[in-house]
């Protein structure tokens, strides 16, 4: 199937590993040129090497998505390098672990900047050039936790829920300029973070990391397993495609049946 994405340009935050890198690879297979951003330049360099076999341009820019100045510099770089972008993937983020009664303001503000303000700032800065290019696609990577919370990470749950609402509001504004905005809410995706947690928790329980992940998946999902990052990335790529042209302002759950309510 031709997804009609060849020679488009995509900017992916949190693009050096995990879901972001998997999305980058899936887009590169479709001929999409890439700008990857993350905080760690070494990881970005490694990601670029991973993508070198594809016949696309891959640029990297180290930036901290919690810092407005870094985001402004990233957007300026994208304009200089590719004269704008067609696809924005707001993927930067990480889980949290706290109790509301004990979490200080600084932690709330940090993750608010990372999960919400980073997307707001990037979208606001990129929309004018995207409009000039005739339209585009913005995908915000939220989480099933935006609707079905894990109670050990209330900050993550709250900020991801806010990201979903921001996406809905932006979709209403942007579609008049042929810019489609949607949200993807993943469930259990086997990322580096989950693998690290599995090693630690598995040791506590006297089981292997794989056994721990299997236990988590079977306890929570009807499908009984984690998704690979590649499985999730395939869905991202479809929503980036003109073949998904009627998909606007929606939240899509990619969760193996984990969500316990009708959505």
pLDDT (tens digit per residue) in 203-242: 999 999 999 999 999 999 999 999 999 999 999 999 999 9
63-102: per-residue pLDDT in tens? Answer: 999 999 999 999 999 999 999 999 999 999 999 999 999 9
Decide if 109 is catalytic: no
Q: Return the pLDDT at 21.
A: 98
**What is the band of 167 on the pLDDT scale with cuts at 50, 70, 90?**
very high
Distance in angstroms (rounded) separating the CA atoms of residues 128 and 124:
8
Q: Return the pLDDT at 1.
A: 82
CATH 3.40.50.720 region(s) of the chain?
9-189+228-253
Distances in Å between the alpha carbon of 32 and those of 5, 16, 57, 59? 6, 16, 8, 12
Q: Return the pLDDT at 118.
A: 98
Q: Return the pLDDT at 44.
A: 98
Q: Check pLDDT > 90 for residue 151.
A: yes
Q: Return the pLDDT at 72.
A: 98
**What is the band of 165 on the pLDDT scale with cuts at 50, 70, 90?**
very high
Of 114, 206, 218, the closest CA to residue 158 belongs to 114
Overall fold of domain 9-189+228-253: Rossmann fold (3.40.50)
pLDDT, average across residues 157-172: 98
Distance in angstroms (rounded) separating the CA atoms of residues 6 and 242:
11
Matching residue, tokens 């905080």: 39
Distance in angstroms (rounded) separating the CA atoms of residues 256 and 157:
19
Distance in angstroms (rounded) separating the CA atoms of residues 13 and 67:
13
106-125: per-residue pLDDT in tens? Answer: 999 999 999 999 999 999 99
DSSP 39: S
The phi, psi pair for 64, rounded to 5°, reads -100, 115
Which residues, including other chains, have CB under 8 Å from residue 49's CB and lie 6 or more apart? none
From 111, 156, 252, 253, the catalytic residue: 156
Q: Check pLDDT > 90 for residue 174.
A: yes
39-56: per-residue pLDDT in tens? Answer: 999 999 999 999 999 999
184-210: per-residue pLDDT in tens? Answer: 999 999 999 999 999 999 999 999 999
Q: Check pLDDT > 90 for residue 263.
A: no
pLDDT, average across residues 9-18: 98
Q: State the pTM of this model.
A: 0.97
Instruction: Please give the sequence-ordered ranges of beta strands (E in DSSP) within the chain, or none if there are none.
Output: 9-13, 33-38, 58-62, 87-90, 136-141, 179-186, 251-254
Distances in Å between the alpha carbon of 248 and those of 70, 173, 180? 29, 11, 5
Neighbours of 82 (CB within 10 A): 20
Distance in angstroms (rounded) separating the CA atoms of residues 242 and 235:
13
């Amino acid at each position: 199937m031709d997804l009609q994405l060849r020679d488009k340009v995509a900017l992916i935050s949190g693009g050096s590993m995990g879901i972001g890198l998997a999305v980058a690879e899936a887009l590169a297979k479709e001929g999409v040129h890439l700008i990857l951003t993350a905080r760690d330049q070494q990881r970005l360099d490694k990601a670029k090497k991973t993508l070198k076999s594809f016949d696309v341009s891959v640029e990297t820019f180290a930036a901290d998505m919690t810092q407005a100045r870094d985001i402004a510099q990233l957007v300026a770089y994208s304009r200089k390098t590719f004269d704008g972008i067609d696809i924005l993937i707001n993927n930067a983020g990480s889980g949290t672990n706290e109790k509301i009664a004990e979490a200080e303001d600084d932690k709330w503000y940090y993750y608010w900047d990372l999960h919400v303000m980073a997307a707001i700032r990037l979208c606001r800065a990129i929309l004018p050039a995207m409009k000039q290019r005739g339209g585009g696609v913005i995908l915000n990577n939220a989480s099933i936790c935006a609707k079905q919370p894990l109670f050990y990470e209330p900050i993550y749950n709250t900020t991801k829920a806010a990201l979903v609402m921001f996406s809905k509001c932006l979709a209403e504004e942007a579609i008049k300029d042929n810019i489609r905005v949607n949200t993807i809410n993943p469930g259990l995706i086997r990322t580096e973070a989950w693998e690290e947690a599995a090693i630690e928790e598995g040791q506590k329980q006297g089981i292997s990391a794989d056994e721990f992940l299997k236990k988590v998946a079977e306890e929570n999902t009807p499908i009984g397993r984690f998704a690979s990052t590649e499985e999730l990335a395939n869905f991202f790529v479809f929503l980036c495609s003109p073949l998904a042209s009627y998909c606007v302002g929606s939240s899509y759950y990619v969760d193996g049946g984990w969500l316990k309510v009708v959505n």
